[in-house]
Amino acid sequence: NAGVTQTPKFQVLKTGQSMTLQCAQDMNHEYMSWYRQDPGMGLRLIHYSVGAGITDQGEVPNGYNVSRSTTEDFPLRLLSAAPSQTSVYFCASSYSRTGSTSGGFYEQYFGPGTRLTVT
């Protein structure tokens, strides 16, 4: 298993540009999520998904869009990049405890991260 993969590893954008951060997992995990990590702030949840076709907002969703058309992929779209979105972005996945999404999820496994700079 490749686990959770993220592309690209590094990206520089100009203010106002849009782009998509890719995230894929090959573990058939129902749950996927996106976090951003800023210096001294820990990680904060942006969006999450409990299964294909289902997404919801986390703590800091503004400026980001997500969709989940397959179990494997969970791309994060920046609609109009701003310098405040300079951060390291982590994608994570997890599996359910009981085999259904209502049973809760185990620990999250993280991808290697994407370092984004917006100038």
Partner 1 sequence: AQKVTQAQTEISVVEKEDVTLDCVYETRDTTYYLFWYKQPPSGELVFLIRRNSFDEQNEISGRYSWNFQKSTSSFNFTITASQVVDSAVYFCALSEGGGADGLTFGKGTHLIIQP
Q: Write the burial class of residue 31 (CB in 10 Å: 0-12 exposed, 13-18 middle, 19+ buried).
A: buried
35/81 with CB nearer partner 1: 35
Phi, psi for residue 111 in degrees, rounded to 5: -75, 180
Choice from 17, 22, 44, 52 touching partner 1 (CB under 8 A): 44
99/103 with CB nearer partner 1: 103
Phi, psi for residue 83 in degrees, rounded to 5: -55, -30
Per DSSP, 99 falls in state: S
Choice from 26, 69, 104, 117 touching partner 1 (CB under 8 A): 104
- Binding region for partner 1 (CB under 8 A) out of 15-23, 36-44, 64-72, 77-85: 36-44
The Cα–Cα gap between 74 and 77 comes to: 10
- Interacting residues of 93 by C-beta distance below 8 A, sequence separation 6+: 4, 25, 27, 29, 31, 32, 33, 74, 108, 109
Considering the complex, what minimum distance in angstroms separates the CB of residue 31 from partner 1?
7
Q: Counting contacts by CB under 8 A, is residue 27 touching partner 1?
A: no
Site string for partner 1, 45-84 (x = CB under 8 A): x--x-x-------xx-------------------------
Structural contact between residues 73 and 26, judged by C-beta atoms closer than 8 angstroms: no
Binding site for partner 1 (CB under 8 A): 31, 33, 35, 40-45, 48, 50, 58-59, 88, 90, 94, 101-110, 112-113
